[in-house]
Structure 1
Amino acid sequence: MEHNALIQILLMLLVAIVAIAVLRRVGLPAILAYLFTGVLSGPSVFHWFTAAQMHSVAELGVVLLMFSLGLEFSLPRLWAMRRTVFGIGFAQVFVTAVISGAVVLMLQMTLTEALVLGSAIALSSTAIVLKLLNELDWLKQRHGELSVSVLLFQDIAVVPLLIVLPLLADTHVSVELNNIVFDTLKGILAFVALMAFGKWALPRIFDEVARARSSELFVLSTLAVALITGALTQWLGLSMALGAFMAGMLLGESQYKRQLEADIRPFRDLLMGLFFISIGMMLDFQLVLAYWWQIIAILVVVLLGKSLTIYFILRLFKEPKVVAIATALSLAQVGEFSFVILSLAVSYQLLDTQISTMFVMVAVLSMALAPWLVRHSVNLAKLLSSPDLTVTNEMSSAMLTPQAGHVLILGYGRVGQTISRFLKAEAIPFVALDLDPTRVTEARTAGEPVYFGDACKRAILKQAGIKHASMIVMTIDEPRFLDNALAICRELAPATKILVRTHDDVNMAELELAGASQVIPERLEGSLMMVSQVLYKSGVPLSRILKRLELERRNHYQFLHGFFSGTETEMSPELLHAVLLPKGANVVDKQVADIPWQTMRVELRAVRRAGEEVESPDASWQFNEGDILLLQGRPRRIEKAESILLQG
C-alpha cells in the first residue's frame, strides 16, 4: 500500500514537471500546470488522491502565501499611494463585488453564496499581473501604477474576508447580526493583542536567530513563526492565514524582510503548488462537460463585466481613456486568492461543490487568458479609443527610458561603507546587503539603504534590483561567498560590471573566469599605493607613476610576488630566494635554456652579476661562477631547484 502511494506521488510530480515545462514554453502561468496535475491525479481521471487527502498539507501553502503577503504590506508605501489604493482600489472591489453579488442573487442563490462569489470575482491575480508588468517594464507607467494600487487593496481586502468566512460558517446560512458583530470584535481584539505582542517579541527573536549565523535556524524560525501565529488565530476561531499575514506584516518593516521572503519562498511555492493541485482535484470533468456552455458564458460575462466596471470607475476618477482601458484589461481575470476563498467556502460548507467547480473552471480559463490580455492591453487600448497624444507619448517614453542604475554593494563592512560614503558624495544611488544584524540595524537607523540578506540567494538579489544595477561590488573576502554569489550575479546580470575585493590574488584567475569584471586584491593594492607615494616623494613624475601602476595591474601584480621569508611571517605562498653559484656548481657555463625550469616549477626572476641586476634573462644567457640567481616559487620547490642547480 505504501509502495503504491509512493509511486502515485512520483507520477504526480512527473506530471507537474512536464506540465510546468510545457506551459512555460507557451507563456502560460505555472498555476494552470498545477491545476491540470490535480485534474489528472483526482477522481476525474486516475484517482491517485482525493482533495481531502491533500487539504491539510495544501492549507499550509495558503498560510505561507499570506505570510509573504504580510511581508510586502508596507504602511509607508500604502500611505504614499493612499488616493489610488483606498480610492480606486476600494471602489473596484466594492462595486465589482456588489454587482457580481446582485447577479448571483438574481439567479435565486443565497446571500452567503452571493457574498462568496462576488468577493471571488472582485479579486485579480497579483502574481500574474505583477510578473508581466515587471517583465514588460510597465510598473512605472500610469496603467501599471494603477494596477499595482488596485491589486494592493485587493490583497488587503482578503484579510476581512478571512475573518468573515469562519463567522458565516458558525452561523450557517442564517446570518445573525449580533453574532457577527460579537465575533468581529473578538477578532479585532485578538488582532490588536497579537500585533502588540509580535511588535515587541518577533524582532528580538530574529535578532538572536541572526546572531547565531545559521541559515537552517533562520529557515526553521521563519516557518515556526508563520505556523504558530496561524495556529493561534485558528484556535481563536479565525483563519490560519490571518495569523500568518499578521506575523508577516510585523516582520515586513524589519531588516530581515528580504531574507525572510527568500527563505520562505521555496516552501511557499511548493505548498502553493500542492494547494492548486488540490483545487484541480475538486474539478469534476463530467460536470464541466455537462455545463460547458454555462461556464463559457460566465467567463465572458466576468471578463466583460469586470473590465467595464474598472473602466468606468477609472473614468470617474478622471483617468484618460487609454490608461483606463489598459488597466481594465490587465485586471479582468480572476485571481489566485479567489481559489483560496472558494476552497475555504467549500470546506466551511458555505458553497455547493457543483457551483464551486464551475467557478473554479471560470477562474482557470480567465487566468489562461490573462497573459495575452496584459501583454496586449496597451495596443488594445489604443485600438478601442482615440487616445490622448500626451498620454500616449508619456507611456511610450516610460517604456524607452531606462531606470537610473544603482550600485549594488554585497557586504557592508569597512570596505563597503567606505565605498558607500564616496558614492553618496557623488550622488550615486546604492543598495547594500549584509548578514550582520547589528550592523544592518545601526545603518538603517542612520537612514542607509542597507538590508539583511544572503547575497547567495537569487530571490534577495532580484529584490535588491540586480537586473537594473549599473555595477555590483563584492566586498566580502570569503571563498564560499565569492564562488556562489559571483556565479549567481553573473547569471542574473550578464552585462553588468562586477568588482570583487579579495585579500590577495591567489584565486584571481579563477574569479575572472567565473565572471568578475575586475578583481582588486586589497593587500597588493595597498602596496601599490605605498609605492606610488614613495616614487612621488622621490620626484618621479605623476604620469610615469600612473603608467607603472597600470602596467603592474595589467601584468597581474607581477612585481608584487615573491618575498624573502622572515622568521615571523610568510607574506606570500611563493617566496623569493637567492642562490649563489659557487665554483663547480652544476649550472655554471650552462645557458638558461638548458635548465628544466618547468620541471622544477620555479621562476627565474633575475640574475645579479658584479653588482648589476638583469631581470628575466633570455634563453641564451650563460651562467658564470659568482652569479646570484633570484628564484620565485613555493618553499619545497625552491629547495629542490637549489639542489638541482648546485649539485645536478
Structure 2
Amino acid sequence: MEQAFLVKILLMLVIAIASIAWFRRLGLPAILAYLLTGMLSGPGGFDWFSQQQMQSVAELGVVLLMFTLGLEFSLPRLLAMRRTVFGLGSAQVIVTSSVVVLVSLALGLSLVEAMIIGAVIALSSTAIVLKLLNEQGWLRRRHGELSVSVLLFQDLAVIPLLILLPLMGSESQAANHSEIFIALVKGIVAFVALMAFGRWALPKLFDEVARSRSNELFVLTTLVVATLTGVFTHWLGLSMALGAFMAGMLLGESQYRRQLEADISPFRDLLMGLFFISIGMLLDLTLVVSFWWQVLVILLAVVVGKIAILFGILRLSGESTKIAATSAITLAQVGEFSFVVLALAVNYQLLSSEISTILVMVAVISMGLAPALIRHCGEIIGAFGGMGADVENHSVSPKVRQAQVLILGYGRVGQTVARFLRSEAVPYVVLDLDPTRVSEARIAGEPVLFGDACKRSLLLEAGLLDVNMLVISFCDGRALEEVLPLARELAPQLTILVRTRDDSNMTEFEQAGASQVIPESLEGSLMLVSQVLYRCGVPLTRILKRLESERRNHYHYLHGFFSGQESDFTLEQLHAVALPASAWAVGKRLSQVPVARLRIEIRAIRRSGAEVENPPSDWLLQADDILLLQGKPRRVERAEIFLLGG
C-alpha cells in the first residue's frame, strides 16, 4: 500500500516536471502547470490523491507565499504613493467588487458567495504583473507606477479579507455585527502585538543569526518565524496567512529582506507548487466540459469588465487615454491570491464545487493570457483606438542612475574600491554578509545590500545582469569557487575582477571565468617596485610597461627567490650556478641542456656583469657564466649536478 502511494507521488512529480517544461517553453506561468498536474492527479483525473490529503502541506505553502508578499510590501513606499494607492487602488477594488457583487446577486447567489466572488475577481496577479513590467522596463513609467499602486492596495485589502473569511465560515453561516466587530478587534490586536513585538525582537533575532554566518540557521529561523506568526493568528481564530503576511511586512524594511527571500524561495516554490496542485484537484474535468461556455463568457466579462472599470477610473482622475488603457490592460487578469481565497472558501464550505471550478478556470485562463496582453498592450491600444503602439515614451520620473559596478564583499579592499568609484562618480552597488558592516554602511547612505553572494537570486537582485563589471573583493576560497562560475554562467560577457592573496590558484580562477585575477601580495610588490624605479629616475612610461608585462605574463618574474634559513621548501626558489672551465655544460648550447627533463627553468645568464633574461636556445655557454635556475629545491640541486658533471 505504502509502495503504491510512493509510486503515485513519483508519477505526479513526473507530470509536474513535464508540464512546467512544456508551459515554460510556451512562455506561460508555472502556476498553470501545477494546476494541470492537480487536475490530472486529483478526483477529476487519475484519482491518485484527494484534495484533503494535500491540504496541510498546501496550507504551509500559503503561509510562505503570504510571508513573501509581506516582504515585498513596503510601508515607506505605500506612504510615498499614498494618493494613488489609497485613491486609485481603493476605487478599483471597491468598484470592481461592487459590480461583481451586484451581478452575482442578480444571478441568484447569496450575499456571502457574491462577496467572495467579488474579492476573487477584484484582485490581480502581483507576481505576473511585476515580473512582466520589470522585463519590459516599465516599472518607472507612469502606467507602471499606477499599476504598482493598485497592486499595493490589493495587498493591503487582503488583511481584512483574511480576518473575515474564517468568520464567514462559522457554523452560524451568517455573522452578526458583534461577531464581525470582535473579529476586527482581534485582527487589530494581532496587528499591534506583532508590530510592537516584531519591530523590537525580529531585527535583534536576525542580527544574532546573521552573525553566526550559518546559512542553515538563517533558513531555519526564517521558516520558524513565518510559521509561528501564522500559528499565533490562528490561535486568535484568524487565518495563518495573516500572521505570516505581517511577519514578512515587519522584515520587509530590514537589511535582511533579500537574503530572506533567497533562503525561503526554494521552500515557498515547492510548497506553493503543492498548493496549486491541490487547487487543481478541485477542478472536475466533467464540470469544466459541462460549463465550458459559461467559463468563456465569464472570462470575457471579467477581462473586459476590469479593463473598462479601471480605464474609466483613470480617465476620471485625469490620466491620458494611452496611460489609462495601458494600466487597465496590465491589471485585467485574476491574481494568484484569488486561488488562496477560493481554497479557503471551499474549505469553509462557503462556495460550491461548481462555482469554484468555474472561477478557477477563469483565473487560470486569464493568467495565461496576461503575458500576451501586457507585452502587446501597445498594439492592442493602437488597433482599437488608433492611438499608436508606443507605450514607453511616457516617463513619469527621471530614471535613477544604474550601477555600473557590482562589488562582492565590503571589507578593506571592497571599501577602498567603492571610495575611489564614488570619487569618480561611478555608480556602484555592494553585496556583503556582515550584518554590522552592512548596517553601518547603510546608515552612512552607502548602496550596500545584505546577502550571500553564492545565491543566484541575490546576484540577480543586486543587478548582475545590468552592471558592466563585477569585483570579487573577498578571498574566501569556497565562496570564490561557487560565486565565480555562477556569475560567469549568468553573465557570460561580464568583466569579472577577482582579488586573491597570491597567485597559487590563478589559472583555476581564470578557467572558472575570471577576466583578471589580482594577487594582493604580488601587486604589493609591484607597487613598491614602481615607487623605487620612479624615484631612481626611470621614466614612468617604462615603469608602466614593465608592470603591464608582469601582469600579462602572470607575474612570472615574481616567482623564485634565493633561499634562506626560514624558506618554504615547497615553493620554487632561485639558485645561482657558476660554471667553472671543467663543467660539462661549458661549450654546449642551451638547447643541449635537457631543461624539460630536469623540470627547471633557466631564468637568466650573467656574463661579465651583464644579465640576459630568457636567453635564446642557441646561446653558447662559456666558462665563468652564472646561470640563474628556478625550480623546486631538489630539482635545482639535481640540475646543478648535471650542469657541472653531465
Deviations 1:602-633 (A, max 9, x none): 21101223332221111122333433221222
* CA RMSD between the two structures: 2.2
**Does the 8 Å contact 1:42/1:48 carry over to 2?**
yes
How far 1:634 moved relative to its partner?
Answer: 3.0
Instruction: Determine the C-alpha separation between the residues in 1 that align with 2:238 and 2:497.
Output: 51
Instruction: Determine the C-alpha separation between the residues in 1 that align with 2:172 and 2:494.
Output: 59
Instruction: Determine the C-alpha separation between the residues in 2 that align with 1:647 and 1:242.
Output: 87
Query: Which consecutive residues of structure 1, in runs of 5 or more, have no partner in the other structure?
Result: none
SS at match of 1:433: strand
SS at match of 1:621: coil
Distance 1:631-1:193 versus aligned 2 partners, 3 A rule: same
1:409 is aligned to 2:424: no
Determine the structure 1 residue equivalent to 2:122. Answer: 122
Q: TM (normalized to structure 1)?
A: 0.95
Deviations 1:276-299 (A, max 9, x none): 000001100111111111111111
Determine the structure 1 residue equivalent to 2:442. Answer: 444
Instruction: Determine the C-alpha separation between the residues in 1 that align with 2:28 and 2:397.
Output: 23
Determine the structure 2 residue equivalent to 1:19. Answer: 19
Q: What amino acid is the match of 1:44?
A: G
Instruction: Determine the C-alpha separation between the residues in 2 that align with 1:206 and 1:228.
Output: 15
Determine the structure 2 residue equivalent to 1:178. Answer: 178
Instruction: Determine the C-alpha separation between the residues in 2 that align with 1:463 and 1:283.
Output: 36
Determine the structure 2 residue equivalent to 1:419. Answer: 417
Determine the structure 1 residue equivalent to 2:472. Answer: 474
Deviations 1:252-288 (A, max 9, x none): 1222111111000010011111000000011001111
SS at match of 1:567: coil
Deviations 1:46-71 (A, max 9, x none): 11111110110011111111111111
User: Aligned runs of 1:123-272 on 2, under 5 Å?
Assistant: 123-170=123-170, 172-272=172-272
User: Aligned runs of 1:63-82 on 2, under 5 Å?
Assistant: 63-82=63-82
**Does the 8 Å contact 2:379/2:388 carry over to 1?**
no
Instruction: Determine the C-alpha separation between the residues in 1 that align with 2:18 and 2:316.
Output: 46
Q: TM (normalized to structure 2)?
A: 0.96
User: Aligned runs of 1:78-97 on 2, under 5 Å?
Assistant: 78-97=78-97
Equivalent pairs, count: 646
Distance 1:398-1:21 versus aligned 2 partners, 3 A rule: farther
How far 1:311 moved relative to its partner?
Answer: 0.7
Instruction: Determine the C-alpha separation between the residues in 2 that align with 1:572 and 1:277.
Output: 60
SS at match of 2:197: helix
**Does the 8 Å contact 2:601/2:629 carry over to 1?**
yes
Determine the structure 2 residue equivalent to 1:32. Answer: 32
Instruction: Determine the C-alpha separation between the residues in 2 that align with 1:226 and 1:629.
Output: 70
Distance 1:162-1:638 versus aligned 2 partners, 3 A rule: farther
Distance 1:399-1:38 versus aligned 2 partners, 3 A rule: farther
**Does the 8 Å contact 1:335/1:363 carry over to 2?**
yes
Determine the structure 1 residue equivalent to 2:546. Answer: 548
Instruction: Determine the C-alpha separation between the residues in 2 that align with 1:172 and 1:302.
Output: 31
How far 1:584 moved relative to its partner?
Answer: 4.3
How far 1:392 moved relative to its partner?
Answer: 5.4
Distance 1:539-1:352 versus aligned 2 partners, 3 A rule: same
Distance 1:23-1:411 versus aligned 2 partners, 3 A rule: same
Q: What amino acid is the match of 1:283?
A: L
More divergent stretch after superposition (280-289 vs 152-161): 152-161
User: Aligned runs of 1:369-384 on 2, under 5 Å?
Assistant: 369-384=369-384
Deviations 1:177-206 (A, max 9, x none): 111101211221122112211111111111
Q: What amino acid is the match of 1:620?
A: D
SS at match of 1:431: strand
SS at match of 1:170: coil
How far 1:220 moved relative to its partner?
Answer: 1.1
**Does the 8 Å contact 1:321/1:385 carry over to 2?**
no
How far 1:336 moved relative to its partner?
Answer: 0.5
Instruction: Determine the C-alpha separation between the residues in 1 that align with 2:5 and 2:29.
Output: 28
Instruction: Determine the C-alpha separation between the residues in 2 that align with 1:137 and 1:403.
Output: 14
Deviations 1:137-191 (A, max 9, x none): 2222222222222112212221221111112223642120111101211221122
**Does the 8 Å contact 2:100/2:117 carry over to 1?**
yes
Instruction: Determine the C-alpha separation between the residues in 2 that align with 1:197 and 1:398.
Output: 38
Instruction: Determine the C-alpha separation between the residues in 2 that align with 1:283 and 1:643.
Output: 86
SS at match of 1:605: strand
Instruction: Determine the C-alpha separation between the residues in 2 that align with 1:401 and 1:77.
Output: 17
Q: What amino acid is the match of 2:600?
A: V
Determine the structure 1 residue equivalent to 2:509. Answer: 511
More divergent stretch after superposition (468-477 vs 267-276): 468-477
More divergent stretch after superposition (567-576 vs 298-307): 567-576
**Does the 8 Å contact 2:403/2:429 carry over to 1?**
no
Determine the structure 2 residue equivalent to 1:603. Answer: 601
Determine the structure 1 residue equivalent to 2:561. Answer: 563
**Does the 8 Å contact 1:327/1:377 carry over to 2?**
no
**Does the 8 Å contact 1:258/1:452 carry over to 2?**
yes
Instruction: Determine the C-alpha separation between the residues in 2 that align with 1:454 and 1:392.
Output: 37
Instruction: Determine the C-alpha separation between the residues in 1 that align with 2:609 and 2:16.
Output: 78
Determine the structure 2 residue equivalent to 1:394. Answer: 393
Find 1:435's aligned residue among 433, 436, 440.
Answer: 433
Q: What amino acid is the match of 2:219?
A: V
Distance 1:430-1:402 versus aligned 2 partners, 3 A rule: closer
**Does the 8 Å contact 1:172/1:350 carry over to 2?**
no
**Does the 8 Å contact 1:326/1:380 carry over to 2?**
no
Instruction: Determine the C-alpha separation between the residues in 2 that align with 1:189 and 1:507.
Output: 58
Q: What amino acid is the match of 2:410?
A: Y
Instruction: Determine the C-alpha separation between the residues in 2 that align with 1:569 and 1:222.
Output: 50
Distance 1:634-1:312 versus aligned 2 partners, 3 A rule: farther
Distance 1:392-1:161 versus aligned 2 partners, 3 A rule: closer
How far 1:388 moved relative to its partner?
Answer: 8.5
Deviations 1:95-143 (A, max 9, x none): 1111111111111111111111100100111111211222222222222
Distance 1:641-1:402 versus aligned 2 partners, 3 A rule: farther
Q: What amino acid is the match of 2:279?
A: I
Determine the structure 2 residue equivalent to 1:622. Answer: 620
User: Aligned runs of 1:562-581 on 2, under 5 Å?
Assistant: 562-568=560-566, 570=568, 573-581=571-579
How far 1:227 moved relative to its partner?
Answer: 1.0
**Does the 8 Å contact 2:141/2:392 carry over to 1?**
no
Determine the structure 1 residue equivalent to 2:53. Answer: 53
Instruction: Determine the C-alpha separation between the residues in 2 that align with 1:392 and 1:112.
Output: 40
**Does the 8 Å contact 1:39/1:281 carry over to 2?**
yes
Q: What amino acid is the match of 1:387?
A: M
Q: What amino acid is the match of 1:537?
A: R
SS at match of 1:224: helix
**Does the 8 Å contact 1:137/1:399 carry over to 2?**
no
How far 1:400 moved relative to its partner?
Answer: 14
Instruction: Determine the C-alpha separation between the residues in 1 that align with 2:433 and 2:241.
Output: 29
Distance 1:225-1:643 versus aligned 2 partners, 3 A rule: farther
Distance 1:172-1:365 versus aligned 2 partners, 3 A rule: farther
Distance 1:547-1:291 versus aligned 2 partners, 3 A rule: same
SS at match of 1:622: coil
SS at match of 1:350: coil
**Does the 8 Å contact 2:570/2:632 carry over to 1?**
no
Q: What amino acid is the match of 2:489?
A: E
SS at match of 1:623: coil
SS at match of 2:615: coil
Instruction: Determine the C-alpha separation between the residues in 1 that align with 2:161 and 2:34.
Output: 25
User: Aligned runs of 1:282-321 on 2, under 5 Å?
Assistant: 282-321=282-321
Q: What amino acid is the match of 1:470?
A: N
Q: What amino acid is the match of 1:487?
A: P
**Does the 8 Å contact 2:572/2:630 carry over to 1?**
yes
**Does the 8 Å contact 1:322/1:385 carry over to 2?**
no
More divergent stretch after superposition (431-440 vs 266-275): 431-440
SS at match of 1:394: coil
Instruction: Determine the C-alpha separation between the residues in 1 that align with 2:399 and 2:643.
Output: 67
Instruction: Determine the C-alpha separation between the residues in 2 that align with 1:479 and 1:100.
Output: 59
More divergent stretch after superposition (293-302 vs 603-612): 603-612
